[in-house]
Amino acid sequence: MVQLHEESFGTYKNEKVRKFVWTTDSGFSVSVISYGAIIQSIQVPDKYGATTDVVLGFDDIEGYITRNSPYLGATVGRCANRIGGASFKIDGVSYSVAKNIGKDHLHGGLVGFDKMNWNATVNGKKVIFSYLSKDGEEGYPGDLVTNVIYEVKNDDVLYVEFLATTTKKTVVNLTNHSYFNLAGHDAGPDEIFNHVITINADKITETTSESIPTGRFIKVGGTPFDLRVPTRLGDAMNKASGLYDDNFCVTINDEQSMNFVSRVVHPSSGRYLEVYSNQPGVQLYTSNGLPSPNETALEGKAGAGYRRHGAFCLETQVYPDAVNHDNFPSAILVPGDIYRHKVNYRFGAVSSSRPEVVLN
């Protein structure tokens, strides 16, 4: 049986920040907060029954307000990832959005969805966060009403659904930006390197040195991006010059249903994460922007020091900069249509009797 309860998580601009916590019979637990519609904690039992928090984050609202430049756990939008040149055209009309990463636009701009305190309602075991983004906010056209629906069932799966409607043609590409370390949020890079990863993709979007897509694709065969079979993440990162921040084009079997995106296993604890989504892409990011060893660590939960390569992200999405590439899946939402993005995060633990086959 799933239990859901609410707690206070402080205040933001004199508004109450609400925290919702689900627990299941296995000890699996998920916490989300209304600020940024953020996933604050995911507690997962290992193969021995020991439970650990596997997402990076903060213990209080001040951490999220003052230190969350990496978007830990956040809902990002109106457009996740990058828009090249911070500009686009819709029906011949040019729009300029905030330049917040060099000359380009990232994750919704200077004050994106991750920095808003969302309205929250509860429907059974679902928590529904809602936000109205007004016409012109961060340069985007149209009033956009967005819902993020979180649900936990007794199968130890976190179900997430993003919904949006608009009053004008606009760009929408939402995602969740959780940073995972299945050894524990505080386990650091050494344990990330030992994770074993699979991604269901036979190509990636080619990008410039500023991570803006060129419009071309790279087949993963024979490259460090070939993660179609279980691969030790540290070995893959060594081949990829030590980092990933790339959009993988998911191999889609059925456009009308959920498709397998990725599976990641931490062998010594047995914990695994499987991601399923209805989106065409997923960004693998190995937390390259967190502080390097010679910098002051980002202080996270329980005083943990978060550092470069201390976690991985799997951000389901439409391809980056899709609004500027006609050959990409569309990121345009029109009035009367509903943007609907579903992603399931399935957690569990592999017994020691079921080893993973790993290719180095």
Residues forming the annotated binding site? 81-82, 177-179, 245
- Taking a C-beta distance cutoff of 8 angstroms, is the pair 275, 345 a contact? yes
Under 8 Å CB-to-CB from 317, ≥6 apart: which residues? 80, 81, 173, 175, 247, 279, 281, 282, 283
Per the structure block, which two tokens stand in for 304?
Answer: 């943990």
Nearest-angstrom CA–CA distance, 77 and 108: 5
Nearest-angstrom CA–CA distance, 174 and 147: 11
Name which of 158, 157, 68 is nearest 113 in CA terms. 68
Name which of 225, 204, 221 is nearest 213 in CA terms. 204
C-alpha 75, offset from chain centre: 7
Distances 185 to 40, 42, 134 between C-alpha atoms, Å? 11, 10, 35
**Catalytic residue (one of 177, 195, 309, 341):** 177
| CA atoms lying within 13 Å on the CB side of residue 232 | 12
Nearest-angstrom CA–CA distance, 329 and 247: 13
Under 8 Å CB-to-CB from 69, ≥6 apart: which residues? none
CA angle 149/150/156 to nearest 5° reads: 150
Q: Is 315 a catalytic residue?
A: yes
**Catalytic residue (one of 105, 191, 315, 325):** 315
Under 8 Å CB-to-CB from 241, ≥6 apart: which residues? none
- Taking a C-beta distance cutoff of 8 angstroms, is the pair 114, 74 a contact? yes
Nearest-angstrom CA–CA distance, 118 and 342: 19
Which residues does the annotation place in the binding site for beta-D-galactose? 81-82, 177-179, 245
Helix ranges (H only) for 229-331 are: 233-239
- Taking a C-beta distance cutoff of 8 angstroms, is the pair 301, 310 a contact? no
- Taking a C-beta distance cutoff of 8 angstroms, is the pair 104, 335 a contact? no
Residues marked as catalytic: 177, 315
